Structure 1
Amino acid sequence: MNELHQNSIVIDGLVIARWDRPLFEDMRKGGLTAASCTVSVWEGFQETVANIADMKKLIRENADLVTQVRNVEDVRRAKREGKTGIILSFQNAHACEDQLGYIEAFADMGVRIIQLCYNTQNLVGTGCYERDGGLSGFGREFIAEMNRVGIMVDLSHVGANTSREAILASSKPVCYSHCLPAGLKEHARNKSDEELRFIADRGGFIGVTMFPPFLRRGIHANVMDYVEAIDYTINLVGEDCVGIGTDFTQGYDKGFFDWITHDKGRYRKLTEFGTIQNPEGLRTLGEMPNLTEAMQAAGWKASRIEKVLGANWLRVFGEVWGAA
């Protein structure tokens, strides 16, 4: 494995994959120190608790490979032990239903990141595929409670107005855990230069994704196209608030994408992704060292690579979660 990659803390800000031992083995092959792992999108409270229970069981059964992350020291411990830290995260506030108390309950279970909306409107605000009325009154209370219990606010699939109001409402750093710049490709899921600067100027964080429909060259992209997108973002906002958030969907078939692209999982079809093929050189999590090599090939300094691979994420997680 690439020496710089092997020595760095490597954090992926978003993975939504088919969780099993082969996937965890591939994470280790890729030198992944920690990953934000989606355990809820369209599911309500009860289904989400079941998902969390399943993930915790998997972590116990594969303790030689993975460990649960609740704070930044857990990430450092995972690095020392040669394991991958699993950060429980949601891509929708839907699981909390209309109960603010569920936020603390999920925090107690170890959930550390919640995306406010997934593409459409919910009780908190509006997603990026609908007319955006902004953050609701309940949404403001929701963010205040997330701040209190140490859960990071994610705005990746959230509409522009709701995102702007959430950034201003939060007392702690918020993130786009997995997005791409609209300056390279116009898409409802991509963020404008203005949006990227706005979150960065207010202490927020940007995880750059490589999900092919949002990349400039789509399914024809390779790992250097991903580096191009990260570089574009850094040139806008600086290298201290940018990281990776691949959005790996490893192990899933068409049925998953049919489910994920329908509102609440079963009703309106929101978008058409077409063929999903990750960039050449980063087809699987096990190929993650290729990203470090591509950054080196692009002439990046080692200090910048270390920040983007994971040091930046670790710092901002500490600001939201606390050190221990």
Structure 2
Amino acid sequence: MNAQSLHDDAIVIDGLIIAKWGRELLEDMRRGGLTAANCTVSVWEGFQATVDNIVETNALLAACDDLVRPVHTTADITRAKEEGKTGIIYGFQNAHAFEDQIGYVEVFKRLGVGIVQMCYNTQNLVGTGCYERDGGLSGFGREIVAEMNRVGMMCDLSHVGATTSQEVILESQKPVCYSHCLPSGLKEHPRNKSDEELRFIAEHGGFVGVTMFTPFLRAGVDATVDDYVEAIEYVMNIVGEDAIGIGTDFTQGQDQAFFEWLTHDKGYARRLTNFGTIINPEGIRTIGEFGNLTEALLRRGMSERQVRKIMGENWMRVLKEVWGA
């Protein structure tokens, strides 16, 4: 099967997109053949502002129902594939929207939120992000993990500190993930995960989505889709071919003000990091070029079976474990 035919036939899931929402972006998702994507609806926002984001995004999905469908179960992802649409999973990059109310977890689950990152770069009530001294998972955090397990919401640890991550992995009764990360074995960066961390999550039934965010890739802004595949292969050699998938971290259409908001604590306080130039790897600059990734994986010598797993089958399996049937 050639690369294009394989891409068209495969389940293709992106474990993290934080792009500028609009019809144009959803059209590009269709061009790229995305079956489903975890789309960020909360980073620094509290409960009310996150609900407002969901209301706004619901309206967009309703207006573009020829292109997309909401996802609450893995059956919805299968349906999206059959209909030639992209399934939209709502995700948070910070548990801040739960505030101090455990009951908000179920409220957001009912609104379609399927994946929640425990912290975004810094401390919250649950635990610590990757840019601060890590105090680990709080007692309240343990209750949040238990409630997320109960309602069927996946714990994400991509921007979370190493100690907090390890404690969430041990605490959770269901698989957890790094939805979008890269290996520090290829480039040292606070956001990248060590070989030990990657091995630990996989050994405990967890999952790793590999990002292509160029500031974290070895080649930086000069990276190509092949550099991205190098990172995927590196991670796969540690976690195995069943615990790996894609989490691009596409920021398509976002402006400089957005990145300023992301890189300051709480969106406005101290600067945490400076990404410099933001440009996606050559060959996969836009979501519409997603098919080039399938081609690059095959070119690297991966089998059709491995490519299908990486592009989406592994995400499907682990989401089913967390969400239930």
TM-score of the alignment, normalized to the shorter chain, above 0.5:
yes
Alpha-carbon distance in 1 for matches of 2:176, 2:209: 11
Deviation track 1:20-69 (CA, whole Å, cap 9, x = no partner) reads 00000000000000000000000000000000011111110000000000
Measure, in 2, the Cα distance between the counterparts of 1:235 and 1:296.
Answer: 16
Structure 2 partner of 1:225: 227
User: What is the CA-CA distance between 1:18 and the residue it aligns to?
Assistant: 0.5
Q: Secondary structure at the match of 1:99?
A: coil
Which whole-Å deviations, capped at 9, do the CAs of 1:191-233 have from their partners, x for residues lacking one?
0000000000000000000001000000000000000000000
Cα shift at 1:296: 1.0
For 1:293, the equivalent position in structure 2 comes to 295
Counterpart residue number, 1:98: 100
Q: 2:51 aligns with which of 46, 49, 52?
A: 49
Residue matched to 1:137: 139
Which of 37, 40, 44 is residue 35 of structure 1 equivalent to?
37
Q: 2:175 aligns with which of 163, 173, 176?
A: 173
Out of 276, 279, 285, the residue aligned to residue 277 of structure 1 is 279
Q: Does the alignment pair 1:304 with 2:306?
A: yes
Q: Deviations over 1:103-141 (max 9, x none)?
A: 010011110000000000000000000000100000000
Aligned residues: 323
**Which residue of 1 is the match for residue 239 of structure 2?**
237
Q: Of 104, 108, 111, which aligns to 2:110?
A: 108
Residue 48 of structure 1 aligns to a residue in which SS?
A: helix
| CA distance, structure 2, for counterparts of residue 304 and residue 237 of structure 1 | 13
Query: Cα RMSD between the aligned structures?
Result: 0.6
Runs of 4 or more consecutive aligned structure 1 residues displaced over 4 Å after TM superposition:
none
* Matched residue, 1:321: 323
- 1:195 paired to 2:182: no
- Picking from 258, 267, 274, the partner of 1:256 is 258
CA distance in 2, matches of 1:251, 1:322: 34
Letter in 1 for 2:37: A
SS at match of 1:2: helix
Give 1:55-70 correspondences, 5 Å limit: 55-70=57-72
The 2-side partners of 1:236 and 1:122 are apart by 30
Partner of 1:26: 28
For residue 101 of structure 2, what is the amino acid of its counterpart?
Q
C-alpha distance after superposition, 1:168-191 (max 9, x if no partner): 000000000000000000000000
Counterpart CA distance in 2 for 1:295 and 1:103 is 37
1:204 — aligned with what? 206
**Shift of residue 237 of structure 1?**
1.3
CA distance in structure 1 between the aligned counterparts of 2:255 and 2:51, rounded to whole angstroms: 24
How far off its partner does 1:304 sit? 0.1
Any gaps of 5 or more consecutive residues in structure 2? none
Give 2:139's aligned amino acid: G
Are 2:150 and 1:148 equivalent residues in the alignment?
yes
Give the fraction of aligned pairs with identical amino acids, expressed as a percent. 68
Q: Which amino acid aligns with 1:290?
A: N
Q: Does 1:247 align with 2:249?
A: yes
Shift of residue 322 of structure 1?
Answer: 1.0
Q: Hey, what does 2:129 align to over in structure 1?
A: 127
AA matched with 1:275: T
Mapped to 1, the partners of 2:111 and 2:72 lie a distance apart of 9
- Give SS of 2:89's match: strand
